[in-house]
């Protein structure tokens, strides 16, 4: 609950919620659930959904925007001085002046949502002085809440989660996504896919990057690789993986995925084998 205190004029004023990792996580969860309610309300009754194409294979709906406004409203109520980077509205005016940056994907898996495929998430990450310190990925359809705070581990619905413990690729199930918005990279991606698929048990392509990463954190997937992601696609999910004992790199095995958008995630053993196949594809 938001505390109140009496000011010098006798009126009551809301106290600011402390900008500690715990306080930030509580508000991130509250914001994610607010967006999740909007998604659930519209998922079964899509007659009132309007769809626009921002670019080829890049959809946005009125529900995306409603979710984003709900999330921003919760954040602004408790942390009006914090910066926000959101998929639909971009950066807030005070982003450059704040040590705190909220990175938001209000409805990850918009195409799934439009088609009635129940694989959707709300993704909220919080950076403190450039370091991702809080992450929330919420699947409102399954009511699964993945959370992480830096140095405190990763949680799924109040239960600690860990990445899988496979070492090779042969028994592994790996998540990926086609570069449908960046098809100039398709030939390179196909070479990578062919090498990984020939050496692993199987591949999954579900269409929601934040949940792919959350599933790696929970050990449901043994690894994940994708090209050309945006910060809101992976900000929360990459923290989940790292706090669950995994490793996240770019395709060169370097920590530059935030710059180039190319991301690989797995446990410390499997990622070496995964990177070897990716690099061998040229």
Interval 155-197: pLDDT, tens: 999 999 999 999 999 999 999 999 877 788 899 999 999 999 9
Q: Say if residue 151 is in the same domain as residue 120.
A: yes
Q: Say if residue 249 is in the same domain as residue 190.
A: yes
pTM beyond 0.75: yes
Indicate the residue among 160, 183, 199 that finishes a domain: 160
Q: Judge whether 165 lies within some domain.
A: no
Q: Say if residue 188 is in the same domain as residue 144.
A: no
pLDDT of residue 221: 98
* Residue 11 pLDDT > 50: no
**Interatomic CA distance for residues 3 and 11, integer angstroms:** 14
Q: Say if residue 155 is in the same domain as residue 182.
A: no
Indicate the residue among 137, 160, 183 that finishes a domain: 160
Q: Say if residue 198 is in the same domain as residue 94.
A: no
Burial class (CB in 10 A: 0-12, 13-18, 19+), 120: buried
CB 52 within 8 A of CB 88: no
pLDDT of residue 1: 37
213-247 pLDDT tens trace: 999 999 999 999 999 999 999 999 999 999 999 99
Q: Judge whether 89 lies within some domain.
A: yes
The SS3 assignment for 121 reads strand
**Interatomic CA distance for residues 270 and 250, integer angstroms:** 15
**Interatomic CA distance for residues 122 and 143, integer angstroms:** 11
Q: CATH no. for residue 223?
A: 3.40.190.80
Of 15-19, 58-62, 141-145, which gets the smallest average pLDDT? 15-19
* Residue 147 pLDDT > 90: yes
Q: CATH no. for residue 144?
A: 3.30.540.10
Q: Say if residue 178 is in the same domain as residue 68.
A: no
Q: Say if residue 71 is in the same domain as residue 151.
A: yes
Indicate the residue among 96, 125, 160 that finishes a domain: 160
* Residue 32 pLDDT > 90: yes
- High-pLDDT (> 90) share of the chain, %: 79
* Residue 57 pLDDT > 90: no
pLDDT of residue 52: 86
Q: Say if residue 135 is in the same domain as residue 267.
A: no
The pLDDT confidence band at residue 70, using thresholds 50, 70 and 90, is very high
Q: Say if residue 24 is in the same domain as residue 123.
A: yes
The pLDDT confidence band at residue 49, using thresholds 50, 70 and 90, is confident
**Interatomic CA distance for residues 94 and 101, integer angstroms:** 10
101-135 pLDDT tens trace: 999 999 999 999 999 999 999 999 999 999 999 99
Q: Say if residue 17 is in the same domain as residue 99.
A: yes
Q: Judge whether 167 lies within some domain.
A: no
End-to-end Cα spacing for the chain: 54
Q: Judge whether 102 lies within some domain.
A: yes
The pLDDT confidence band at residue 47, using thresholds 50, 70 and 90, is confident
Q: Say if residue 121 is in the same domain as residue 193.
A: no
Q: Say if residue 111 is in the same domain as residue 200.
A: no
Structure tokens at 74: 């919760």
* Residue 88 pLDDT > 90: no
Domain of 241 in residue numbering reads as 173-280
pLDDT of residue 36: 98
Q: Judge whether 269 lies within some domain.
A: yes
The pLDDT confidence band at residue 4, using thresholds 50, 70 and 90, is very low
For residue 132, what are the β-bridge partners? 127
Tally of domains within the chain: 2
**Interatomic CA distance for residues 106 and 214, integer angstroms:** 16
């Amino acid at each position: 609950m938001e505390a109140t205190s009496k000011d010098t004029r006798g009126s009551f004023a809301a106290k600011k919620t402390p900008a500690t990792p715990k306080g930030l996580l509580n508000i991130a969860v509250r914001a994610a659930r607010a967006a999740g309610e909007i998604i659930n309300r519209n998922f079964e009754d899509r007659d009132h959904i309007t769809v626009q194409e921002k670019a080829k294979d890049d959809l946005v709906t009125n529900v995306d925007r409603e979710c984003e406004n709900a999330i921003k409203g919760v954040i602004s109520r408790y942390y009006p001085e914090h910066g926000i980077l959101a998929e639909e509205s971009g950066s807030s005016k005070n982003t450059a002046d704040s040590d705190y940056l909220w990175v938001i994907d209000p409805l990850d898996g918009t195409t799934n949502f439009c088609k009635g495929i129940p694989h959707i998430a709300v993704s909220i990450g919080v950076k403190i002085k450039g370091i991702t310190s809080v992450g929330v990925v919420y699947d409102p359809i399954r009511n699964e809440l993945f959370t992480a705070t830096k140095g405190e581990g990763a949680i799924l619905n109040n239960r600690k989660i860990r990445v899988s413990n496979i070492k090779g690729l042969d028994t592994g199930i790996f998540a990926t996504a086609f570069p449908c918005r960046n098809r100039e990279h398709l030939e390179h991606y196909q070479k990578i896919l062919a090498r990984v698929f020939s050496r692993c048990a199987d591949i999954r392509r579900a269409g929601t990057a934040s949940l792919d990463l959350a599933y790696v954190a929970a050990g449901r997937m043994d690894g994940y690789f994708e090209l050309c992601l945006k910060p809101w696609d992976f900000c929360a999910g990459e923290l989940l993986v790292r706090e669950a004992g995994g490793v996240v790199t770019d395709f060169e095995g370097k920590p530059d995925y935030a710059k180039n958008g190319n991301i690989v995630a797995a446990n410390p053993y499997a990622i070496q084998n995964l990177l070897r196949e990716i690099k061998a594809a040229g």
